[in-house]
Structure 1
Amino acid sequence: MFNPRPRIERVSVGGVHDVWVVDDVLLDPEALRERAIAGRASFRAAPFNAYPGLEWQQGPDIDGPLSDFFMLHLRQRLGARRTQSMYSRLSLATLQPAQLRPLQRLCHRDRFGTTAEQTVAACTLYLFHDAALGGTSFYLPRRPIEDINADIRRWAAMDDAAFTAEIGAPPGYIGASNAHFELAAVVPAAYNRAVFYDGGHFHSSHITQPEKLSADPAQGRLTLNGFFICRRAAA
């Protein structure tokens, strides 16, 4: 399923940390697209989390090969060792700007309630041909992280109007620097490309043309997303 000889490139995020771009990830990417298209009725609205669209959690036939690929090629690069748990999902970003909740208008981190001895690695595999649907962007906080964390808790309780007034921007996906976060890197989408990253750093889908989003897996921003909770490698 996964290419045993992928092309892997390091991308620096503002000189603070690295993400890894992997091209030619799947030997037969159309097979996974066809799975999504045939199973479109299995997609469900995301629970109350950061993802702005539909999800379909996958099972061992996807999780196993993805976990093996991560272990062989990316885990050490991301400062992780033994994988303790993981899961994957097929995802479709669908929400239009006016539908976004406040925290969906910002970058986010993948936390999963981990301890200091754990790290969360994540990946996004692009399964669409139209690169204009958007890749993934990475951000650095512009203020002390304690202040950012306090603001995130406060923003989560705001209604849309109050949040819009505070940040001074209309509803929409984040795609540029603002007073709170610096846009430090953008990985463009490309068919059968994946980006692997430390989920503990701020990131977002880089959606600049939301009018192109669709709930149809054959037309929309279809991705395979993986999340890996691992032991953190010794410093």
Structure 2
Amino acid sequence: MNNVFNSIIKNSGSITVGDFLTCIGVALVTGFIIAFAYMIKNDYSKGFVATLVMLPPIVTAVIMMVSGNLGAGVAVAGAFSLVRFRSAQGTAKEIAVIFLAMSTGLAFGVGYVAFGLMLGVILSVVGLVLNLLGFGDVKDNKLKKNLKITIPEELDYTEVFDDLMEEYTTSSELVAVKSTNMGSMFKLNYEIKLKDASKEKEFVDKLRCRNGNLEILVSKVMQTESYL
């Protein structure tokens, strides 16, 4: 059992064609596994998933070339650091899966084929399970809304909707006020959390009666991504 964690490369200074093809082939398979796992229940672009497939064999080839050469290894590390600065900002999930792809490539590059394959498969499955279970999702996010109301200037916007907010929401906050139409109207922007999503229309109807049937917009709150 312990033999599967031994490197297949016996001499780092002399890599055979068989060793090279084995490492590159397994790296490519692992890249497909990581990419397919990421594509389930995640937003992605064609270029990003293609990168996930290609990254393990690329890193594998680079590590095999510089194996045993300290100076070349330092140069490669500097080149990898430049990639981050020339890339668009990525979410925490994207950065994590890129690190996973690179880690498997590093393992394959030094000949630890079984270790790299198991690492890629296990962490891909863990990520997939977390997505399917909705781990870390914000609870009651569907009840959170952005509410924009237009009112005539004669209404006192500080208190005019307080009773309705108390009746239909568990929390409400007036976050912005903007005058419009040459100062004859105000646009109010609220962040609210509904008590019952099924009563949203009833709530809007009562707001319409209060604001003179002027424009009302209810929209969902977009989840913010975590960036690294």
- Higher relative contact order structure (alpha carbons within 8 Å, sequence separation ≥ 6): 1
State the TM-score, normalizing by the size of structure 2. 0.25
**Which has the larger Rg?**
2
Judging by fraction of residues, say which structure has more helix: 2
State the TM-score, normalizing by the size of structure 1. 0.24
